[in-house]
Amino acid sequence: MIKVEALTRSFGAKRAVDDISFEVARGEVLGFLGPNGAGKSTTMRMITGFIPPSGGKVSVCGFDVVDHPLEAKRRIGYLPESAPSYSDMSVIAFLNFAADMRGLRGDLRKQAIRRVVQTCHLDSVLGQTIDTLSKGFRHRTCLAQSIIHDPEVLILDEPTDGLDPNQKHEVRELIRTMGKTKAIIFSTHILEEVEAVCDRAIIIDRGRIVANGTPAELKAGAPSGRLEDFFRSITRSDTVQHAEAGAQA
């Protein structure tokens, strides 16, 4: 459902994403891992059509994101990092706005809103303005907008960032459930989430894919059998990368 081929993105002299290729099938949850600055968010933005690639291509459900952007984007739900929302809107007004943007009308819109309110447990805050919500409820509201049109593909950038342990558990369960029928990519810095939720994981470092496999396969790459140790063995921290970049300059 998602096909990434030789994808590249440069910002001036910096190559943020460097010739990466992978696929995600229906019914698969792919964890997207890497140090800060590795190229994760840039890749996700290109998959969703938010920014164009410098080279390569992305197709979603058979539609090229650049050549057929509307057809591709209709099939995508996107939760960006630090997801934006309209703070003066009530939750129900924001969900109605999101449904309108997705072309949902009449009974279809009512059914969609009812579904995401139930799925994301928003019943108790529908009348509140978004600026009065806790971080957890704001996050759930933004997640609700990403699935309001029941997309075939979900791109989730740090979907549990800032949530408490109970909220993280709820989001993980939701991703696992939706992953049975959708193609999902989600980025995370929490390696235990990969083992809990993902069918497969890709590790990206300095814009390149350095590992691709099931959680069990990746853990087997470390003598300790721990995913964290394998991750650290094949990536460099952003502080090391910045130090090296400064030395080269």
**pLDDT tens for the chain, residues 1 to 249:** 999 999 999 999 999 999 999 999 999 999 999 999 899 999 999 999 999 999 999 999 999 999 999 999 999 999 987 766 788 999 999 999 999 999 999 999 999 999 999 988 899 999 999 999 988 888 889 999 999 999 999 999 988 877 888 888 888 898 999 999 999 999 988 888 898 899 999 999 999 999 999 999 999 999 999 999 999 999 976 545 444 545 555
What pLDDT sits at residue 243?
Answer: 47
What share of the chain has pLDDT > 70, as a percent?
A: 94
Q: What is the pTM of this model?
A: 0.89
Residue 84 tokens read as: 């934006």
Domain boundaries of the chain, sorted by first residue: 1-75+153-215, 85-150
Nearest to 113, CA basis, from 147, 140, 80, 87 = 147
Collect all residues with Cβ–Cβ distance below 8 Å to 194 and sequence separation of at least 6: 31, 33, 188, 201, 215, 227
Class of domain 1-75+153-215: alpha beta
Collect all residues with Cβ–Cβ distance below 8 Å to 16 and sequence separation of at least 6: 9, 10, 39, 42, 207
Q: Which residue has the tokens 């978004």?
A: 130
Please, which residues bridge with residue 28 across strands? 183
